[in-house]
Chain A
Amino acid sequence: MSRRRKRRVFRQIVNCDLELRPLMNVFIVLIPMLLMSAVFLEIRVIEMTLPRAAIADEATPPAPPFDLAIRIRADAYVVEADGTQLAVIPRSADAAGRAAPDADAAQRISAALASAGASHPDNHEVRIVAEPGTRYREIVAVMDLARAAGLPQAALEGAESGSL
């Protein structure tokens, strides 16, 4: 009697698990590189347009219909309209050390700008007149106040030299 020869069946065991280590290697290189180059601070811009230098040689441009200005002095912020002082907001002793306007001064400046703008709702321009020693952060803070009061077009001017 023949014996059936048993056939040995070699079952190949296949590992069905995903091989994650190559992907891990890529991630470990990619993530530190992106973390080092990522910028988590949002940078924005305040746009300005300077008057063309050539215009200085031509006829004087017409004066704007309503001249609103904020003067940044060492002792106070002065809001002027058509050359008339509307408000003089004294600066605190800390602010005199060239910091941005404090909350009280900011509120009073905003109120002065709002009352000045109420009579001229079509005006969106304001001149910011700064002394040579005025810090840049103060100028930006005053620009923010002007923008919040509906005056997005701010022109920078030196107290001694006039407009740029």
Chain B
Amino acid sequence: MSLTSLMDILTCLLFFVLKSFVAGGEATVPPPGLELPKSTAEQPMVTSLVIAIDKEAILVGSERVVSVHDALASDRMSIEPLADRLRAAREQMHEIAILRGGADTVTRVVTIQGDEDIEFRVLQKVMYTLNEGGFQDIALAVIKKA
């Protein structure tokens, strides 16, 4: 059985898949069920702390922190569970930066992966909490329009 032609197809497919393979880790992929809005933005995503806001919950990394319902139920603009989690993340990043020898190189960039159907009030509270936590540089993740 001649496998040469099948090898040609598999080789092309392998090179194509390797080229499109995103090696950024699982944090760059939105959680299941979260539809990012489409945009004409061109800036690529950088490695940063990722906060995902879907219809049900707010996640930091892949860890669920608080539900959207509980976040909106509070009269305060700041979301306490998220603020606590951000504080822990900031301390962790600071320790890592010290171990790497550069305490002043702590990155304060946060990427927000929000579902396109979430309301502005949720986003507003999350951004307010981030601002209070010392994270001023925010990147809103979107899907590039074709």
Contacts and interface: CB of A to CB of B under 8 A. Distances in A.
B104 interface: no
B111 to A, nearest CB: 6
Interface stretch (A2-10, A58-66, A139-147): A139-147
B131 A45 contact: no
B10 to A, nearest CB: 5
Given A23-B7, A31-B17, A47-B43, A161 B118 contact: no
A135 B138 contact: no
Q: Taking chain A's interface residues, is the majority helix, strand, or loop, or is none over half, making it mixed?
A: mixed
- In terms of DSSP, what is the predominant structure of the interface of chain B? mixed
B91 interface: no
A53 B124 CA distance: 14
B101 to A, nearest CB: 27
Interface in A121-140: 130-137, 139-140
A136 B37 contact: yes
Contact of B142 (A45, A49, A161): A45
A45 B140 contact: yes
B143 A42 contact: yes
A134 B37 CA distance: 14
A51 B14 CA distance: 46
Interface string A50-94: 111100000000000000000000000000000000000000000
Contacts of A133: 119-121
Given A137-B116, A140-B39, A41 B143 contact: yes
Nearest to B13: A31
A164 interface: yes
Interface string B103-146: 00000000100111111110110011011100111111111100
Interface string A102-123: 0000000000000000000000
A44 B42 contact: yes
A20 B3 contact: yes
A103 to B, nearest CB: 14
B14 to A, nearest CB: 6
B74 to A, nearest CB: 14
Contacts of B6: 24
Interface string B38-57: 11111111100000000000
Interface of B: 3-4, 6-7, 10-11, 13-14, 17-18, 20-22, 28-30, 36-46, 77, 111, 114-121, 123-124, 127-128, 130-132, 135-144
Interface of A: 20-21, 23-24, 27-28, 30-31, 34-35, 37-53, 130-137, 139-141, 143-144, 147-148, 156, 158, 161, 164
Given A34-B21, A47-B138, A47-B140, 10 more contacts: A24-B10, A31-B17, A44-B41, A50-B138, A139-B120, A141-B39, A156-B123, A156-B124, A164-B127, A164-B128
